[in-house]
Amino acid sequence: MTLVMAACAVCQGRAFQSVYPSTIPDTGSEAWQYFGSSRTRAGHLAIVRCARCGLMMTNPQDDPVTLVAAYGRDADTVYDLEYDNRRRAARRHLALVTKYRVTSARILDVGCATGAFVSAAHDAGWRATGLDASEPMILRARIRCPGAVFHVGTLDDVEFPSEAFDVITLWDVLEHVYSPLEALVRLREWLTPGGWLCLSVPNAGSVTARLMGRHWVLLLREHLWYFCPKTLSRLLSLAGFVVVETRPKLVQFSLANICRRVGQYRGLVPTLSRRLSRLPGCARLRLQFPIGEIDVVARAR
């Protein structure tokens, strides 16, 4: 495991202002423990702000080799405990996509996990393809949606022809990508002229993020970039996209899932939360609330 100093993903600047110090006492510990819904620990490395463009980011970051290893080994069994809620979220995201692309066509979901969105798109008549770095997750996705096409790997591992897709989606993915601009440029090549890119990311400028400050629940080791509408719009423009819509995103989780996430931290309250997550009925009680994320729709120029 290696930590590296990174340049700003938007302007390539290398002058930063400290925002939040690291909450990880042993940065030499195995990084995978802090990744995914099944993480055994929660915390973040040092978070800074670019002095030139204002992008908030993790710095230093885990290097690409560490990231690939962490996501490639990720079976994340806890992830599927919320599959019904993820299906509901997938249908809401699909409604956003069809607002701009009415006719079902070719769609690629990057970071598809166990296939909730791909399955929803396939059921609605789309020619759906999913891509994820985790082979265990892709195996579950193929069982759930045998009619779709799934690939194991990162964006660097796969090759698609130019103009292979009419829509590409990245739900809660871009903040995990080591080189966001390179990734977006690559995706732009796979889109048809005027094709659509739909994504969601943590919004560092959201009311939730500002109110919670250093306690914002999306401050995680696995999140490398904390965009706001301004910095994300600039990044997308550099990659050849024009932002068409930005909207706040609501998440829905069971009480059991919320308690499990709180339990990933240290202390008395997390310990009590872990116990509460096992109580009968917690998995059936669902809560919907803002967590400080945004959905974004952009069109290829």
pTM for the model stands at 0.91
**Top CATH class, 3-300:** alpha beta
Edge-first strand listing for the sheet containing 127-132: 149-152, 127-132, 106-110, 165-171, 191-202, 286-300, 241-254
Enter the tokens of residue 108. 């690629």
Note the pLDDT of residue 234: 98
Note the pLDDT of residue 205: 97
Note the pLDDT of residue 137: 92
Q: With contact defined as beta carbons under 8 Å apart, do 39 and 264 qualify?
A: yes
Q: Where are the domains of the chain?
A: 3-300
The series of mean pLDDT values per 10 residues for the chain, 301 residues long, is 93 98 83 80 94 98 91 71 85 96 93 96 97 94 96 94 97 97 98 97 97 95 98 98 96 72 66 70 77 97 93
Note the pLDDT of residue 288: 78
Note the pLDDT of residue 25: 85
Nearby residues of 249 by Cβ (< 8 Å), 6 or more positions away: 200, 290, 291, 293, 294, 295
Enter the tokens of residue 288. 């919907």
Q: Could you tell me the CA-to-CA distances from 226 to 75, 122, 203, 248 in Å, in that order?
A: 25, 31, 6, 15
- Alpha-carbon distance 288 to 43, whole Å? 24
Say how many C-beta atoms besides its own lie within 10 A of residue 273's C-beta: 19
Note the pLDDT of residue 144: 93
